[in-house]
Amino acid sequence: MLPYFTQKYGHPASRNHPFGWEAEAAVDTARSQLAALIGARDPKEIVFTSGGTESINLALKGVAEMYREKGNHIVTTVIEQRAGLDVAKRLERQGSEVTYVPVQPDGLIDVEQIGKAITDKTVLVSVMFANNEIGTIQDIAAIGKLCKAKGILFHTDATQAVGKIPVNVEAMGIDLLSCTAHLMYGPKGIGALYVRRKGPRVRIAPIIDGGGHERGMRSGTLPVPLIVGLGKAAEIAREVMPEESVRLARLRDKLQDAVLSNVDEAFLNGNVERRLPHNLNISFAYVEGESVLMGLNKECALSSGSACTSSTLEPSYVIAALGASAELAHSSIRFSLHRFNTEEEVDWVGRRTIEVIKRLREMSPLYELAKEGVDLKSIQWKAE
Amino acid sequence: MAYSDKVVDHYNNPRNVGSFAKDTPGVGTGLVGAPECGDVMKLQIKVNLETGIIEDAKFKTFGCGSAIASSSLATEWLKGKSVDEAAKIKNTDIVNELKLPPVKIHCSVLAEDAIKAALADYKTKQPAEPAATR
């Protein structure tokens, strides 16, 4: 990646000199590397973008505009990441109709509910592959099959899944797929949208106009070094995934057991089986998430809710959507393990978490009331 | 957004965590906030009934580090003050002392509410002033 910042500085759209050819070849390699990771038949189906947010914007807005004649209805879910929800809301303001399918208490979307939401005006179904907070993996193949049968395009926000678990656009009937490099150890500022070219040939209106790069779907000079980084990250992910996912799931399970067996009233969020191998999300009753993080983040980086929503003080809408009380939505912590974590580090996090929760509960008025046998719901809280 | 050193200090070494029995003479209890909002503070004062001075104060808080720090600081400030002086503590004093960012100002507001609620509870528990002679 680094040489492409300096020595190999060619512009991939410069077709008349070797510097341009060199850059173009590097971009093509990256396209093939990512296509291989997601099982795309043709590298030309990869459109580079600035990241997951842009990919999701392009998929939803691009389809909504291109297929307006056919219909104006989109089906999505209540647990999409902010980008998915915010784009859907904007499209609603612009005249689209959007159905937000609810989620079951274990974080799974009922595929039948998707089927029921589809109308003769539906042009797109958009369901996230795996959730960014609770890691729950949806039955993407079943949704893909359903959409194929009804002739409706299917987009999945796979930013959390690509590079972590097997993703195959052909086998799963995916027509559009959003992903990003930084969630597979690549550079920030680069992502991609997979756009199916055959069976059906998906067409999308660009949201950025200009020189017609990326086959007219996304104009703008390609950031060659970042693309090279994305390609390499995809290649490595594909290589190490079988071993890495097993290793991280084992460490995650160990952390989960340590915490849940030592802390009472700690609740695991999301489906236990169908979940990203590196993800663990727990709500700790009677303590507030941010205060837990403060006790842990000197040594490690954990999050309450997601980075996408941390600029607000809102509780996790994902946890709330599972039907948990608002109080528990304030009390969820996401542990995300990564490729370079050692067993010692994970053990340390477990021990430290237990200490922090115990300390915070000692200073929690809610814990005190609960231990006195007071039903917290019976209290007339004076909300601001 | 990093926490100020003072917030970190109060979070790591909270002052006066604990509870008094609510029915102890001279104790006033304030319970403010709501679990669904992510902040609940319980603040208690123990007033010397002879001098009218707050001898001790305790808190328990469910909330972020800034909420914990705001209530911890409030208990420190309450000790040694008369009931009337205590009523003058303003949330802006807490904001300045802890260098709270705008997004955390509500923590200081809640701490001020908790002080007021504890003072009000203390006052309602005192025997009424002798009624004026008719």
**Cβ atoms within 10 Å, residue B131:** 6
CB A130 within 8 A of CB A165: yes
When scoring B8, B12, B39, B40 by the number of chain A Cβ atoms within 10 A, the one with the most, hence best to mutate, is B40
Q: Is B107 a catalytic residue?
A: yes
Beta bridge partners of A136: A275
By Cβ distance, the residue of A362, A368, A381 closest to B35 is A381
**B62/A364 touch (CB, cutoff 8 Å), yes or no:** yes
B32 to chain A: closest CA residue: A382
By Cβ distance, the residue of B3, B36, B61 closest to A365 is B61
User: Between helices A52-66 and A82-93, what is the axis angle to 10°?
Assistant: 30
pTM of the entire predicted model: 0.91
Angstrom distance (rounded) from CA A101 to CA A78: 6
CB A289 within 8 A of CB A332: yes
Sign of CA dihedral A306, A181, A80, A132: negative
Beta bridge partners of A279: A336
- Tokens 């489906």 locate to A271
- What are the structure tokens assigned to A45, written together? 């189906």
By Cβ distance, the residue of B3, B38, B42 closest to A365 is B42
C-alpha torsion A196→A198→A199→A205, nearest 10? 50
Spell out which residues of chain B touch residue A326, defining contact as CB-CB under 8 Å: 35-36
**B36/A330 touch (CB, cutoff 8 Å), yes or no:** yes
Q: What is the ipTM of this complex?
A: 0.91
B7 to chain A: closest CA residue: A294
The tens place of each residue's pLDDT in chain A, 384 residues long, gives 999 999 999 899 888 888 889 999 999 999 999 999 999 999 999 999 999 999 999 999 999 999 999 999 999 999 999 999 999 999 999 999 999 999 999 999 999 999 999 999 999 999 999 999 999 999 999 999 999 999 999 999 999 999 999 999 999 999 999 999 999 999 999 999 999 999 999 999 999 999 999 999 999 999 999 999 999 999 999 999 999 999 999 999 999 999 999 999 999 999 999 999 999 999 999 999 989 989 987 777 766 654 444 444 567 889 889 988 777 888 999 999 999 999 999 999 999 999 999 999 999 999 999 999 999 888 888 765
User: Between helices B91-98 and B65-78, what is the axis angle to 10°?
Assistant: 110
CB A174 within 8 A of CB A154: yes
Extended strands (E) in chain A: 46-49, 73-77, 97-101, 122-126, 153-157, 176-180, 191-195, 266-268, 279-284, 332-336
Sign of CA dihedral A260, A263, A267, A269: negative
